[in-house]
Amino acid sequence: MDMKLTEEQSQLQEAVRRFMDDNCGMDFVREMEASELGFSRTMWKEMADLGWLGLDLPDQWGGLELGAVNLAILMKELGRHICPTPMLSTAVIAGEAIARAGSDEQRSQYLPQIADGEIIIAFAMQEFNRKFHPGAIKFEARASGDGHVLSGTKMFVEYAGAADQLLVVARTSQTAPSTNGLTMFLVDADSAGIESTRTPTMARDHHYEVRFDGVQVPKERILGPVDAAWADLEPTLHKAAIAFAAFTNGASFELHEQSTEFAKNRVQFGRPIGQMQSVQGNLAQLIMEILGSDMLTLFTAYHMDQGRPVRGYVAKAKAFSAETVARTMDIGSQIFGGMGYMEEQDSTLYLRRGKQYELMLGGTDYWYEIAAAEVIDVDDPVLFT
């Protein structure tokens, strides 16, 4: 793999960075934290007009089909600005799930709407359980007449308050911890029996607890085969994990650059603090981890685009990026001293997101288990070309 970006990829990176520099400063991030929706519909439409929402969607249904590497480049630049946007849940998770599992009718209905920024889809998978593993899903979808009835509660549903549709993963047969018996549904967010409550988080972003009380879903809203969603959901989560790893890598790069610049200019005891061994050591250790995480993420995205088996590499990239962003936000903020923990300091916006980013889309324990299984239980493919 040639790690140097192509001319087109460099142009994408530069275009996204310019747009983010102009439109997503830290004052904007604070404004979105306090807003009702948690993101800007104006920015969402602008991102659609730039082609970003359809960047990895099939061209047959309005996308650009540019692949996982370009998606990672885009997400890394969004992550530098900790951009509040439903990109991950709508364009990556829902888009990939519909492209993989949807009928032609569902693809033609939803994918162009995603690419054009006309729809928000929230992803409802996790429940009252610390485990991210799909086998932990107990949320029930019971067959009833010509459809299903959904009952239960989903947690950490990002942007549910603004969503038009909910992509719900439910159990239609079997029992936990089986990954069999799962089915995906596209549910109107304003359906009778749905109640959403925003839950407080360290990052102050917009996550919701969504309760379903006898929600009727017609059969045409089933996404993919009944009882066999995991075959499509697992590779969808792999794509999402790489996209989010790239996002967190971008956040890590940005805070490291801010911390490094501060260390060069902050004078204490007659010299810049960047000349002190402990500060130098922390900055050096962090940048090695960030660069390693970034390379592993792009490496995995490249082989994902080639259609090669990447399950183990996805797990390694996601776990590595999760640990790296948590450490970078912690240690990077410490370099600012006491002011690194003040609300007025931009670094605090990154600090508050460090631990949450580590846990999103599964904590490191979930991905470590997969990485270990790929190494120990099966032949873990070594990809060098």
117-144 pLDDT tens trace: 999 999 999 998 877 888 899 999 999 9
Residue 385 pLDDT more than 50?
no
What pLDDT is recorded for position 382? 53
Q: Which helix (H) or strand (E) holds 233?
A: helix 230-265
The model carries a pTM of 0.95
Cα separation of 98 and 223, whole Å? 7
Amino acid at 237: L
Tens digits of per-residue pLDDT, 342-352? 999 999 999 99
Cα separation of 217 and 172, whole Å? 13
Tens digits of per-residue pLDDT, 78-130? 999 999 999 999 999 999 999 999 999 999 999 999 999 999 999 999 998 87
Cα separation of 57 and 61, whole Å? 7
Which carries the bigger pLDDT value, residue 73 or residue 135?
A: 73
What is the location of CATH 1.10.540.10 in the chain? 7-120
- For the chain, the average pLDDT equals 95
Q: Which CATH architecture has domain 122-223?
A: Beta Barrel (2.40)
What pLDDT is recorded for position 175? 86
CATH, range 230-376: 1.20.140.10
Amino acid at 273: I
What pLDDT is recorded for position 384? 45
Residue 282 pLDDT more than 80?
yes
- Residue 294's closest CA among 329, 339, 327, 245? 245
Which of 11-20, 49-58, 319-328, 355-364 comes out lowest in average pLDDT? Answer: 355-364
What is the location of CATH 2.40.110.10 in the chain? 122-223
Which carries the bigger pLDDT value, residue 66 or residue 135?
A: 66
69 and 299 Cβ atoms separated by less than 8 Å: no
**Does the domain formed by 7-120 have CATH 3.30.450.370?**
no
Percent of the chain with pLDDT over 90: 89
